[in-house]
Structure 1
Amino acid sequence: MPRSLLPAASAVLLALTVLNAPPARAAADPSPVAVTVNARAALATVPETGIGTNHAIWDSNLGTDATADTLKAAGVKLLRYPGGSYSDIYHWETHTAPGGYVAPNTDFDTFMRGVRRTGAQAMVTANYGTGTAAEAAAWVRQANVTKGYGIKYWEIGNENYGNGHYGSAWEADDHADKSPAEYARHVVAYADAMKAVDPTIKIGAVLTTPANWPDAIVGEGDDGSWNKVVLSAAGSKIDFVILHWYPGALDRAGHVPDMIRLTREQLAAYAGAGADRIGIAMTEFNTGSSSNGTNTQPGALAAADAYATLLANGVFTVDWWNVHNGIGTVTEVEGHTDYGDFGLLSSGTCTADGSVCEPALNTPFAPYYALQMVSRFARPGDQFVRAATDQPKVTAHAARRPNGDLAVMLVNTSSDTSYPVTIGYEGYRPASGAPTVLTHTNGATAITTATSGTATAQTLPPLSLTTLVLRPAASQAGLPGAPGRPKATNVTDRAATITWPAASPGARPIAKYELHRQNGAITEQLGETSGTSFTVGNLTPGTRYTVNVIARDTGGGLSWSSPPLTFTTGTPATSSCSVRLTNVTDWASGYVGSLDITNRGAPLNGWTLSFAWPRTWQSLGSGWGAVWTETGSQVKVVNDPASPALATGATVTVGYVGNYGGPNVLPAVFTLNGTVCRTE
């Protein structure tokens, strides 16, 4: 939605509550932080369109050379238009937005001129709320046939679940039926009409973001949640899905892997055959934390952490909201003025009473340098690899480059502690000597570049972004190519067969392939083979595994890791018990769960069901039908003392309220009196 704070533009402001705790007193001599970088544990490849931002038609500086050149210097590779919720009132042919403000020099051609000068791709949001499929198709014709702009990515509407269907209305929607089913019907019509003009374009549909309102809520008369209904009806017609995320706090990057996991699971469950072709785009992102630093260094650190984590998990673009936004609530954050501005660049605006003014137009705010740092750390074609630390105040990311270089980005969120770090490497041997070090510190107006420290020892200033660029110790010439993307078949509770396309040999023949499992930034070798298939045994039921395959040649040379494969083992095909978990109703921060427990063994005179919450942000609210207790992440459900017996073939149903403050990965493994049950 448009969150413009420019005087002439209307906006919908989110109410966000965040903690603003005072900084802790720094330790006199902090212990070194242990950083682990594992080049064997590969994640996603950096996409061409990874670093993005939003333009809006109420910004008269949208298409200026100064704006384009500043964005280019940050490495911005995708620009979205015409701007949040304005997309659903904007008519491109007349360049009007009834009910909103359209600034001069913001028409489509002006936008595209800026896109080209920036060296970026465009993403266009077609008007769903007050437009038609014919209007959208005409826009594709104008853009790609008449003008030859070659715009690849086209969204159908913006945050259309905010049309009042779930009780809150900020998004324009003239359709009498505001259900997800109606939106899905129009997505199909838009896709057909637009691809009839240009079959090469990619169509995106709006989804709700896991654990963010109104995700998982089922509206009156609907057959399921917004995502289920939209994907079930329109999945075969779309090429990507659209998420928006305003976490409202600065420490939420840890939610990202499950956020993307749950989205992919929904695609697999509802979008039909070939759903793995559908990409995920985060077309609006901002920390959403005005009290903790929207445009000062804390927000920048959170932005860098989130961008790197989203891209490492396979999102193909992350688009900051937005380029110019305007002054908001002015505060002091970490020794600097925070203007409450959600823009990357200053709008040069003042408070209503004129008492405080932003710096000159296009002055970069701190998050601008975060995007610039990420673009220098992880370049298109690089491969993210696992990195981790033992200090919560310090996070780490790493990416391997095609020429053999390795980049490591370290984020120190401490307000007052310079942390020494020691860096250990698995699957990579850096060259001796001082690496290239890029640094951005609190209040700095540029990223500095120096040659300092070593590959294994650095010191991180407080509130800083630091990137090390390392050269490999040995030549990378003649090494084998990376194996192709693995697949898992015959997955049971204890085993899985992994197959992969063969790697291309380098200077020497390939001797074998090694299969490595990721366990955080540590890997364990599950086996090796001279072929391209391996059956892994001794797995744990109901467990999620991420694995990579590496080729080793006859001289011991190692390839890059394959793309990652993630699969989840099941529960026993046969067991003396079975459990069915049903999410009865959900309100995006909690849900009612129902457990059907069936005894398929000998009669029981007393029973205990046990399970664990998968994530730290989950907890038990209440339970019924039995005696419920919770200790840490462990939950025990003991039979009602008045009803201890559970006969062979009998089923007992119990229920609970589960609370969650992040993506809600449901429990998958249950034991009854110590026996692992089949989960149905």
Structure 2
Amino acid sequence: MQMMTRTVSAIMFIALIAIMACKKSNNNTGTTTTTTTTDQGNGGAIGPITSPTDPSVAATQGFFLNDWQARTFTAPSTQAAAKPSATTSITVTADYSQVVSKVSKYMFGNNINPFTGQYTGAGVVTDITNLSPNIIRAPGGSLSDVYFWNSPSGGHPADVPAQLLNADGTPNTTTGYWSGQVTDSWSLSLDNYYSLLQKTKSTGIITVNYAYARYGTGPTPVQTAAHLAAQWVRYDKGRTKFWEIGNECYGNWEACYRIDVTKNQDGQPAILTGALYGQQFLVFADSMRNAAAQIGATIQIGAVLHETPDANNAEGVSNWNPGVLGAIGNAADFFIVHNYYTNYNENSSALTIFNTAAASSSTLMNFVKTSIQTAGVTQKPIALTEWNIFSTGSQQQISNVAGVHAVMVLGETIKDQYGEASRWDLANGWSTTSPGDDQGLFSYGQPNVTDFTPRPAFYYMYYFQKFFGDRMISSSVSGSSSIVSYASSFSSGQAGVVVVNTSESDATVNVSFKNYYTGSNYYYYTLHGGTDNGDFSGQVLVNGNGPSINYGGPSSYASLAAYSTSTSGGIKVTVPARGVVFLVVDKK
């Protein structure tokens, strides 16, 4: 009898220890395990789990993660949805204990250019605020080569040539200069750019006019252009932390590529080199940092690198990266790259577009890292300040496929640990000669469509950020090569998965979590295209809700109810053909 009492006491003691271990395991760091087994069959862990541990911040992310913010998931309004009954061999498995990276809030950025209006309308401001890009780049790409932030409308400095040169040395008869102090309704003033940042709770990333250092006709064009950039830093008064010196300077389409040496007074060559850009970068960086110090601001300055092997660059400067890195050493705070994924002016198929997301993102990152290592330069953060697709001919750029591709780019660039990314661009302009070849996230000048109507990619990017947490966690897919997944966790305890279907058929998918105990429900939004324009629908449906016109998506997107389904019996969803499911599951 005494032996039995001791045995019972020992069993109770062991049970107490197990309960204490269970309570101790609910944290986001460490490797504590627990023996709870209450989640069996509900899509989560069975038995002991390992808690997540954050990895070290990658050098390619660096200070862009200084502003990282914990995210709390708040369940939206919901409507009950039946669980798919079809059996399936396709499973997405997410491991809550394996943190790939914290998610920089600067991964969801966009670009703005000054030829699409003043951005003062309440509708577009609300949509951009809802989109929450967090960072908006200005004043445009190649347009920054001819942009003078302090000039009045129609004005420009006296020491610029009447005509710039084309890549072949012929005069550019369409030469024009852009001023920041404009009041025209069709243009964007610098002050209204700053106002938009404030209204949408975004920060800026500004590209200063480097090309002026090349084509300026004064006695000291480099110092003059660097001084103008420094004056902008002073005018900015610390509102902008991130600054770029030049745009795609390696390209023969840029105004800095070739200059008229007969008008140049400081002995610069006709054709730009990477080494020359690097030398002149140092002058800009020194002037801009001195200006920032004078106003008590801290800024980060980026240098332009080429994103692909360029030893025989047929469209610009050869061996750009070695020349730049050899000249600047460790003087840059970050490095700038661009990626338009598909081949230029290719009439790409949907599958071709989808296949570029993972391959091109990782190839670019690996190439740039290797360039930096080969040059013996310290790795700095990588900013993808322009990205989109070049595909033309079938209205790919304004289609549902562009939206699905945007989801994949966001997922892949977070996985590859970029520090910043900005899509090109908020609005661009409609071409009458090539309709639909328009990279804008919003319509502008599109026939029969109100300006600033959100395009499909807007909705995909909106729901991605709404349902993606503050940490990416590891995920994998079995049973299909057409399903792609990106998983995340919220600091508030929920876990989520973005499931992409690149095929032409709907797919039923099981979702399973390792090292995570699921709660009672999961919530999701299902997005897919319409039936117009073949593979490249200009519409997007969200949980069955489409646009009120034959273009875009539902105007009520911000208040649409999510589908809600019990986790009992497992987590299962139907992912539409060339569509995406954004899913978050309750914590235990």
TM range (shorter): 0.5 to 0.7
Task: Give the equivalent residue in structure 1 for 2:198.
Answer: 116
* Alignment pair present for 1:188 and 2:282: yes
Shift of 1:210: 2.7
For 2:502 and 2:563, the matched residues in 1 are separated by 21
Shift of 1:324: 1.1
Q: Which amino acid aligns with 2:278?
A: A
Pick the aligned partner of 1:456 from 571, 582, 587. Answer: 571
Q: Deviations over 1:91-114 (max 9, x none)?
A: 111155752566724121111111
For 1:73 and 1:374, the matched residues in 2 are separated by 12
- From the superposition, tell whether residues 155 and 146 of structure 1 become closer, same or farther in structure 2 (CA, over 3 Å): closer
Q: Deviations over 1:479-499 (max 9, x none)?
A: xxxxxxxxxxxxxxxxxxxxx
Task: Give the equivalent residue in structure 2 for 1:78.
Answer: 135
For 1:267 and 1:216, the matched residues in 2 are separated by 15
Q: Deviations over 1:414-437 (max 9, x none)?
A: 33x221001222232322x33011
Identity %: 23
- From the superposition, tell whether residues 210 and 146 of structure 1 become closer, same or farther in structure 2 (CA, over 3 Å): closer
Q: Which amino acid aligns with 1:451?
A: S
Q: Which runs of 5+ in 2 are unaligned?
A: 1-85, 157-174, 214-221, 260-267, 343-352, 530-539, 542-552
Give the conservation status (yes or no) of the 8 Å contact 2:118–2:192. no
For 1:186 and 1:406, the matched residues in 2 are separated by 48
Pick the aligned partner of 1:263 from 368, 381, 388. Answer: 368
* Alignment pair present for 1:287 and 2:389: yes
Pick the aligned partner of 2:104 from 29, 47, 57. Answer: 47
Q: Which 10-residue stretch deviates more, 450-459 or 231-240?
A: 450-459
Secondary structure of the 1:198 match is: helix
Q: 1:215-614 counterparts in 2 under 5 A?
A: 215-217=310-312, 225-248=319-342, 249-255=353-359, 256-270=361-375, 272=377, 275-276=378-379, 278-291=380-393, 293-328=396-431, 339-349=436-446, 357-379=447-469, 381-415=470-504, 417-431=505-519, 433-442=520-529, 443-444=540-541, 445-446=553-554, 447=557, 448=560, 449-452=562-565, 454=567, 456-473=571-588
For 1:362 and 1:289, the matched residues in 2 are separated by 22
Give the conservation status (yes or no) of the 8 Å contact 2:135–2:204. yes
Q: Deviations over 1:438-496 (max 9, x none)?
A: 222212214552213646211112222211112232xxxxxxxxxxxxxxxxxxxxxxx
For 2:369 and 2:87, the matched residues in 1 are separated by 41
Shift of 1:44: 2.2
- From the superposition, tell whether residues 390 and 280 of structure 1 become closer, same or farther in structure 2 (CA, over 3 Å): farther
For 1:100 and 1:384, the matched residues in 2 are separated by 47
Secondary structure of the 2:151 match is: coil
For 1:216 and 1:452, the matched residues in 2 are separated by 55
For 2:438 and 2:313, the matched residues in 1 are separated by 34
Shift of 1:158: 0.4
For 2:208 and 2:178, the matched residues in 1 are separated by 18
Secondary structure of the 2:286 match is: helix
- From the superposition, tell whether residues 188 and 294 of structure 1 become closer, same or farther in structure 2 (CA, over 3 Å): same
Task: Give the equivalent residue in structure 1 for 2:176.
Answer: 99
Task: Give the equivalent residue in structure 1 for 2:72.
Answer: none
Aligned length: 417
For 1:77 and 1:251, the matched residues in 2 are separated by 28
Secondary structure of the 1:161 match is: coil
* Alignment pair present for 1:208 and 2:306: yes
Secondary structure of the 2:430 match is: coil
Give the conservation status (yes or no) of the 8 Å contact 1:85–1:172. no
For 2:399 and 2:193, the matched residues in 1 are separated by 28
For 2:338 and 2:578, the matched residues in 1 are separated by 26
Secondary structure of the 1:360 match is: coil
Q: Deviations over 1:37-75 (max 9, x none)?
A: 122332221112111111111222445443332111112
- From the superposition, tell whether residues 113 and 209 of structure 1 become closer, same or farther in structure 2 (CA, over 3 Å): same
User: Highest relative contact order (Cα 8 Å, sep 6+), 1 or 2?
Assistant: 2
Over aligned residues, Cα RMSD in angstroms?
2.8
Q: Which amino acid aligns with 2:273?
A: S
Secondary structure of the 1:253 match is: helix
More helix by share: 2
For 2:566 and 2:313, the matched residues in 1 are separated by 55
Q: Deviations over 1:581-604 (max 9, x none)?
A: xxxxxxxxxxxxxxxxxxxxxxxx
Shift of 1:307: 1.4
Shift of 1:328: 3.5
Pick the aligned partner of 2:114 from 52, 57, 61. Answer: 57
